[in-house]
Amino acid sequence: MMIAAEKLHQLATEGWCVLPSVISHETADAALAALWAARRDDEANGGAEAIPGLDPNERNVRVFNLIDRDPLFVDLVENPVAVEVVRAVLGETFSISNFTANIALPGSKSMEVHSDQALVVPEPWVQTWSVNIIWCLTDATEANGSTRFLPGSHHFTSYDDVPADIAQRMRAFEAPKGSIVAMDGRIWHTSGANVTADQERALCFGYYSRSFLRPQQNWNVSLSPETLQGLSPQMRRWLGLEAKGNRDVGRSLLKLGVDD
């Protein structure tokens, strides 16, 4: 699929865009069921965690390390539409930094405002070095706690640029089940409050970064032998599982014949 030029333009100028119908409702439902199965495993094994300092309350349900939880999540993270957007933003080489889920149940509140790039790279943030591909396993609406963000905030280069009232200025994205929402890693955002009586909002966050950045998840110690066996050579490179890595920045040196 060729991503429409206006979508990539919106991503570059506003820092986000929605691509609807990337997966079917059946696939979204299957991924949601796999998510809850993984959560039940976590609860049974004492692995159910939140993100300290960021997460609001226990109605906010996290599932981490999705690549190891079900092959369906490998399909999502290497989905060709997702990868096309990632390449358009980060270039040909990139790493998969993280893949996690956040389910906002009714009563879930808004988390701390942050930008994902600011969590992994010190200021100044002068270029886009990461991008989120957000999978909507359910509809995401303002009422059910869809992600709130400030369009254009990917142009902030330091903490000084972040307005004190940023939380009041943000808006929610709305996207139907089966969509992806691409979000520049420098966009300042938060989860919304889920004020519905009975809707769960389930989003999975595929976080990709330039290949010279250390990933948030250390895949070398996170993946089971069964998961490793099923990965393509390309996925192994994206996850940093090969012996060599971080050799793509100095292309001019290679042209000069400098190589080890």
Ligand X SMILES: O=C(O)CCC(=O)C(=O)O
Residues that bind ligand X (CB under 6 A): 102, 116, 147, 189, 191, 203, 205
Query: Measured between alpha carbons, how far is 248 from 151 in angstroms, rounded to an integer?
Result: 31
Match 């100044």 to its residue by tokens. Answer: 124
Query: Measured between alpha carbons, how far is 95 from 245 in angstroms, rounded to an integer?
Result: 10
User: Closest distance between ligand X and the C-beta of residue 200, in Å?
Assistant: 12
User: Closest distance between ligand X and the C-beta of residue 147, in Å?
Assistant: 3
| Complex with ligand X: residue 23 or 204, whichever CB lies closer | 204
User: Closest distance between ligand X and the C-beta of residue 58, in Å?
Assistant: 15
| Complex with ligand X: residue 177 or 189, whichever CB lies closer | 189
Q: What is the DSSP letter of 179?
A: -
User: What are the phi and psi torsion angles at 172 (to 5°)?
Assistant: -95, 145
| Complex with ligand X: residue 42 or 231, whichever CB lies closer | 42
Structure tokens at 86: 């990632």
| Complex with ligand X: residue 102 or 130, whichever CB lies closer | 102
User: Closest distance between ligand X and the C-beta of residue 249, in Å?
Assistant: 26
User: What are the phi and psi torsion angles at 239 (to 5°)?
Assistant: -95, 0
User: Closest distance between ligand X and the C-beta of residue 242, in Å?
Assistant: 28
User: Closest distance between ligand X and the C-beta of residue 60, in Å?
Assistant: 8
Structure tokens at 57: 């309350």
Among candidate residues 204, 188, 210, the one with its CA nearest the CA of residue 64:
204
Contact 11, 85 (CB under 8 A): yes
| Complex with ligand X: residue 79 or 97, whichever CB lies closer | 97
| Complex with ligand X: residue 59 or 247, whichever CB lies closer | 59
Query: Measured between alpha carbons, how far is 196 from 141 in angstroms, rounded to an integer?
Result: 10
CA trace torsion 224, 182, 209, 116 (10° rounding): -100
Beta strands in 159-213 (DSSP E): 171-172, 180-184, 188-190, 201-210
User: Closest distance between ligand X and the C-beta of residue 188, in Å?
Assistant: 10
| Complex with ligand X: residue 174 or 248, whichever CB lies closer | 174
